[in-house]
């Protein structure tokens, strides 16, 4: 099976991607968190995130938010200028301020707007598209209405996270609609959602033998060795942490407080199976010295072989 790394805004930025690709791997392509126009401008940090120089050593497909055609066109042209020939269109973002403006998953119930977007993007030379979508915004059959529009764009793949936007990232997966999508969508299909182990990936592959790939997000942030169990060592987990730390430290230029905030954000998802007591100490660290001491204690405990055995 081909495995793709899903974008997780705030986690899978270029620093994480580079560290992941060099220390773990197992992923064929990485997808960037979505680029967007904010107050009429492209955000500098979005552009830095997809800058090819910052993504050396991995294959990146940049993603834009599904949005009004003129905004999407600007984003795609900027990406084409950077040398990208494939762009992923986000029709999955569940964040209400986006969705209520018919962006991300909020675009799905509006076929006329989807048609306008696809027609505009299909007219740009030299770029092909993939689509990453939910089943709908508030009803899991909404995707069906836009399937005929795929022919305008002829996507290289369609990734489905079988939930509706209103569910955010939890609640039951609507697998009978995924079953229907596998039957009805005539473009290479990718499954995404709640795959947090190799066994879970194999179960999806068995259920859908025709899949083109499986895309994994949170599972890889939680355990970057998920796809390469032979690399699941405390030393490798520490090395990924240290690469991220070093990069943020250099960029923050002495801003210790910011560095602690940024690193603690990683631990909101990283290594949930780490020893509980030490993990708690990392998350509570109030300054850089305490943070560093807590992280060292955590990895020492893991090295001691107590992974997940703490009460």
Q: How far is the CB of 245 from ligand FMN (least distance, A)?
A: 20
DSSP state of 287: S
Q: How far is the CB of 90 from ligand FMN (least distance, A)?
A: 4
Binding status of residue 218 toward ligand FMN by CB under 6 A: yes
Among 46, 113, 194, 301, binds ligand FMN (CB under 6 A): 194
What span, in angstroms and rounded, lies between the C-alpha atoms of 245 and 260? 9
66 contact partners, CB below 8 Å, separation of at least 6:
72, 89, 90, 91, 103, 104, 107, 114, 117
Of 194 and 249, which has the nearer Cβ to ligand FMN?
A: 194
SS3 (DSSP) at 128: strand
Binding status of residue 90 toward ligand FMN by CB under 6 A: yes
Residue facing ligand FMN at closest CB distance: 217
| CA angle, residues 167, 170, 172, in degrees to nearest 5 | 85
Binding status of residue 33 toward ligand FMN by CB under 6 A: yes
Helices (H), the chain: 14-23, 44-50, 69-81, 96-99, 111-122, 143-146, 150-153, 175-184, 198-207, 218-222, 234-252, 256-266, 276-284, 288-303
Q: Count residues binding ligand FMN (CB under 6 A).
A: 21
Q: How far is the CB of 15 from ligand FMN (least distance, A)?
A: 16
What span, in angstroms and rounded, lies between the C-alpha atoms of 125 and 255? 44
Q: How far is the CB of 196 from ligand FMN (least distance, A)?
A: 7
Among 169, 184, 207, 304, binds ligand FMN (CB under 6 A): 169
Binding status of residue 8 toward ligand FMN by CB under 6 A: yes
Binding status of residue 87 toward ligand FMN by CB under 6 A: no
Q: How far is the CB of 31 from ligand FMN (least distance, A)?
A: 7
Among 10, 68, 255, 272, binds ligand FMN (CB under 6 A): 10
Residues in 107-146 that interact with ligand FMN by CB under 6 A: 132
- The distance from CA 59 to its chain's CA centroid, rounded to whole angstroms, is 14
> Which of 6-14, 237-245, 251-259, 288-296 is the region at the interface with ligand FMN (rule: CB under 6 A)?
6-14
DSSP state of 167: G
| CA angle, residues 134, 135, 138, in degrees to nearest 5 | 100
Binding status of residue 74 toward ligand FMN by CB under 6 A: no
Helices (H), 133-233: 143-146, 150-153, 175-184, 198-207, 218-222
Q: How far is the CB of 55 from ligand FMN (least distance, A)?
A: 16
Residues binding ligand FMN (CB under 6 A): 6-10, 33-34, 63, 90, 92, 132, 161, 169, 192-195, 216-219
């Amino acid at each position: 099976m081909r495995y793709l790394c899903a974008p997780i805004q705030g986690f899978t930025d270029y620093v994480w991607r580079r560290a992941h690709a060099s220390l773990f791997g197992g992923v064929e392509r990485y997808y960037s968190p979505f680029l967007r126009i904010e107050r009429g401008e492209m955000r500098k940090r979005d552009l830095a995130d997809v800058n090819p120089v910052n993504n050396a050593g991995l294959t990146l497909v940049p993603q834009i938010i599904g949005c009004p055609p003129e905004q999407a066109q600007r984003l795609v042209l900027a990406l084409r200028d950077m040398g990208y020939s494939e762009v992923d269109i986000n029709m999955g973002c569940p964040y209400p301020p986006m969705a209520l403006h018919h962006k991300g998953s909020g675009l799905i119930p509006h076929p006329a707007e989807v048609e306008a977007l696809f027609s505009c993007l299909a007219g740009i030379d030299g770029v092909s598209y993939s689509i990453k979508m939910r089943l709908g915004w508030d009803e899991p059959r909404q995707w069906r209405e836009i399937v005929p529009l795929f022919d305008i764009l002829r996507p290289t793949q369609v990734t489905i996270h079988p939930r509706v936007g209103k569910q955010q990232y939890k609640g039951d997966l609507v697998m009978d609609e995924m079953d229907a999508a596998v039957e009805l969508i005539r473009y290479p299909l990718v499954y995404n959602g709640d795959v947090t182990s190799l066994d879970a990936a194999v179960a999806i592959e068995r259920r859908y033998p025709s899949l083109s790939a499986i895309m994994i997000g949170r599972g890889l942030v939680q355990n970057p060795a998920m796809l390469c169990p032979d690399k699941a060592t405390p030393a490798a987990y520490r090395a990924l942490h240290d690469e991220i730390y070093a990069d943020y430290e250099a960029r923050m230029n002495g801003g210790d407080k910011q560095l602690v905030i940024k690193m603690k954000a990683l631990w909101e998802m990283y290594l949930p199976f780490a020893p509980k007591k030490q993990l708690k100490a990392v998350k509570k660290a109030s300054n850089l010295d305490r943070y560093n001491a807590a992280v060292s204690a955590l990895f020492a405990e893991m090295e001691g072989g107590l992974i997940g055995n703490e009460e």
